[in-house]
Amino acid sequence: MKVFSKIVDLQNQLFEDRKNGKEIGLVPTMGALHEGHASLVRRSVKENGITVVSVFVNPTQFNDKNDLKNYPRTLDADCQLLDACGADYVLAPSVEEMYPTPDTRQFEFPPVSTVMEGAHRPGHFNGVCQVVSRLFYIVKPNRAYFGEKDWQQIAVVKAMVKQLGLKVQIVECDIVRDADGLARSSRNTLLAKDERAIAPAIYKTLKESISYAKTHTVGETHDFVVNTINAVDGLKVEYFSIVDGNTLQDIAAWDDTPYVVGCITVYCGKTPIRLIDHIKYKA
């Protein structure tokens, strides 16, 4: 496995690979890798001749400077994991390498980019689109792999790909969870022991809400989830939205659409750490 810090060196390598008929898979990450990332990499290795993994904590998608400062950075451990998964190349550029000049492009894809995370983290999805589009232009992948934990992000990236006319297939991969149900996330490493112990209550409640929803309205189900999680000392719901899985707009009744998803963000602990998850009620 080769690690590149310079974009041009990776591009030169990929030029040779394409001449040899290799298809390229890309797994964009911000590092602090875990089994969820590993599952994406293994799938890319299976489906492509070459797999590129980017490891870059992108400053333009953070609207909270402390969140950016505290985001875990573990490049050496990341490379060991990626090598074991069969990745071919790692792109680990500096901020100056990725953004030699400020990226002033503006991306907005209402309604999918303006609700939920878009509403609570102004500028977040614009930053995501800036860095992901740059990676697509750099790597020119045939396929790019994203985990379903960041469910709304996938919808935004698909909208961006369509608008820019990029020829890349977006591959959605199943969410990976710990044995107790907590969705794998780089942010989990920031949880103290007592915080990690209560975090699984998020998914436990979401699962319980599936049965609850069968005999209750959308509004009642919403309140059940929020009240149950908020009753756990150390957890605080930022938002819980029950939406049409295609438009990401709130629904009023279960029969409004055949595709219904509940999306949640919860603050865990005293710091606090921001955790996201979702559940599919109808798909």
Report the catalytic residues: 37
For residue 78, give every residue at least 6 positions away whose Cβ sits within 8 Å of its Cβ, in sequence order, or none: 29, 31, 32, 33, 55, 90
Strand 50-55 versus strand 24-29 pairing type: parallel
Known binding residues for ATP are 30-37, 147-150, 176, 184-187
Known binding residues for beta-alanine are 61
Q: Which amino acid is at 210?
A: I
* Token pair recorded at residue 54: 């980017």
Q: List alpha helices for 48-192, DSSP H.
A: 65-70, 75-85, 95-98, 117-120, 124-139, 151-164
SS (H, E, C) 192-227: CHHHHHHCCHHHHHHHHHHHHHCCCCHHHHHHHHHH
Strands across the sheet containing 235-244? 235-244, 260-268, 273-282
Known binding residues for (R)-pantoate are 61, 153
For residue 212, give every residue at least 6 positions away whose Cβ sits within 8 Å of its Cβ, in sequence order, or none: 220, 221, 224
